[in-house]
Amino acid sequence: MKRRILLGNSNPLSDLATVMLALADVGHLTEGQALLRFERMFAAQLGAGRACSFFAGRVALAAILDAIDIRAGDEVIIPAYTCVAVPNPILALGATPVYADIDRRTGNLCPHSVARVVSNKTRALLVQHTFGIPAAIAELNAVAREHSLRVIEDCTHAFGANYAGQPVGTHGDAAFFSMEQSKILSTGSGGIAYSANPEIARRLADYQSRSSFPPALVTWKMLCYLVDITLLGGPLYNSLTDTLSYYMKRTGLAHGPVTTDEEMACVTPVGILTRRLPNGLAKIGISQLARFEKNRQRRQCISEQYAAAVERLRIPTLSIPASAAPNMVRFPIVVADKAEIIRYMRAQAVAVGDWFSAPVHPWAVDQAAAGYRAGSCPEAEWAVAHIANLPITPRMSDADVQRVVNLLETFQGMARTKADEFAVAWP
């Protein structure tokens, strides 16, 4: 496969230059003026609220839980098709994540399921916009209003998506975003908490001021990690990059985003939920925001090409609410055998994703420790078995997209199945 010297962005050479400059500016790795500038630029994409930056999306969620006074004994409703980084900050407070089921046709929370799990201890509802497709916010907000619940939007997959003409992240009391490597806007690792409610925004800023920066050396190593993936990463799957990243991280030369073994066991290591985004990474965020609209359009164009292809191949995808304009982080497809297609496509250097590989992702997570009871959310368990996702990055050319589509078609043919057997018919 032809390799490109580019990554993560429609103009990665300029990203690389930004990373190199940030690496050289050793005096401002931790604190500096880029932080405030980045937060202001980010907030301006959403509205008149305030954005507070943190070291990861999970830290931004912890800040929001603090800002809306979630305490031990409270319950927070979350979808049973999510990442372990969502229940963990809730558990860390001694509060309880309560799982509501999704709708398999949308991949997002089912309002009826939410209504069924509300109790007199429920204080908040977390609405996740899975794969960048907005959830049914109007209906979910109505359930929340009826029970006086706070609404937290999980926009980690969905920066740049709109619902009813307004950006996701502006429909609840507060929202959080992730800037981890695989996300739409990426600083390697990072998160934003946003709120337009002045009191919540003040509390978020307060939480941020009580948090600490990672050591300068960690920031420097994160930037080294960005150099590695920027230089060697292709838009599709590249085992060399993966291997090199792995060894750079193992040998301590680079530091990438990690979910620790403790987090997998739903124990939050001390200090993880009070870390700030360092200045060196905020500079990368500024560079990415400057080209954000162009990148969003490219994602949209790739999504449309995939949508036309899966319609022709009769492979189902998730449905989009009428009033929603998604910004897809990856393109979901519904298949009979998820493991088989992932294996085949990876062998062809196409990173078909397994998000989510368990109701509380990834599969290695102790589901019971996360508070998930097997069988309680059958739609989510179905989605885990049948929803895979295709890569989208603004760096993908039309030829790259076509290659993915061709492989999908070949796989379909090889499986010697009719299209509606390869895919799964809706019930």
Report the interface residues with ligand PLP, using CB under 6 A.
Answer: 56-58, 82-83, 85-86, 128, 154, 156-157, 178, 180, 191
| Cβ-contact 302, 107 below 8 angstroms | no
Residue 94 is classified by DSSP as T
Point out the residue whose Cβ comes nearest to ligand PLP.
Answer: 57
Identity of the residue, 257 or 280, whose beta carbon is nearer to ligand PLP in the bound complex = 257
Identity of the residue, 86 or 387, whose beta carbon is nearer to ligand PLP in the bound complex = 86
Identity of the residue, 154 or 173, whose beta carbon is nearer to ligand PLP in the bound complex = 154
Identity of the residue, 154 or 228, whose beta carbon is nearer to ligand PLP in the bound complex = 154
Strand partners, 174: 152
At closest approach, how far in Å is the CB of 20 from ligand PLP?
Answer: 24
At closest approach, how far in Å is the CB of 186 from ligand PLP?
Answer: 10
E strand or H helix that includes residue 127: strand 122-128
At closest approach, how far in Å is the CB of 139 from ligand PLP?
Answer: 20
Peptide bond preceding 362: is omega within 30 degrees of 0, i.e. cis?
yes
Q: How far apart are CA 175 and CA 152, in angstroms?
A: 5
At closest approach, how far in Å is the CB of 329 from ligand PLP?
Answer: 9
At closest approach, how far in Å is the CB of 2 from ligand PLP?
Answer: 29
Identity of the residue, 172 or 191, whose beta carbon is nearer to ligand PLP in the bound complex = 191
Identity of the residue, 103 or 154, whose beta carbon is nearer to ligand PLP in the bound complex = 154
DSSP assignment of 172-190: SSEEEEE-BTTSSS-SBS-
The sign one gets for the Cα dihedral 277, 279, 285, 290 is positive
At closest approach, how far in Å is the CB of 314 from ligand PLP?
Answer: 29
Strand partners, 77: 98, 125
At closest approach, how far in Å is the CB of 203 from ligand PLP?
Answer: 20
Q: How far apart are CA 206 and CA 203, in angstroms?
A: 5
Helix (H, G, I), strand (E, B) or coil at 42: helix
Helix (H, G, I), strand (E, B) or coil at 262: helix
DSSP assignment of 357-408: SSSEESTTS-TTTTTPPTTS-HHHHHHHHHEEEEE--TT--HHHHHHHHHHH
Query: How do 174-178 and 150-154 pair as beta strands?
Result: parallel
Identity of the residue, 128 or 317, whose beta carbon is nearer to ligand PLP in the bound complex = 128
- Closest C-alpha to 395, from 311, 304, 291, 240: 291
Identity of the residue, 54 or 237, whose beta carbon is nearer to ligand PLP in the bound complex = 54
At closest approach, how far in Å is the CB of 418 from ligand PLP?
Answer: 33
Cα 119 to Cα 108, 116, 147, 369: the distances in Å are 21, 9, 9, 21
The sign one gets for the Cα dihedral 363, 369, 374, 377 is negative
Token pair recorded at residue 272? 């993880």
Interior angle at CA 307, CA 305 and CA 312, nearest 5: 100
**Tokens 């502006």 — which residue?**
170
Identity of the residue, 113 or 305, whose beta carbon is nearer to ligand PLP in the bound complex = 113
As a three-state string, the secondary structure of 118-169 is CCCCEEEEEEECHHHCCCCHHHHHHHHHHCCCEEEEECCCCCCCEECCEECC
At closest approach, how far in Å is the CB of 404 from ligand PLP?
Answer: 22
At closest approach, how far in Å is the CB of 221 from ligand PLP?
Answer: 17
Identity of the residue, 189 or 412, whose beta carbon is nearer to ligand PLP in the bound complex = 189
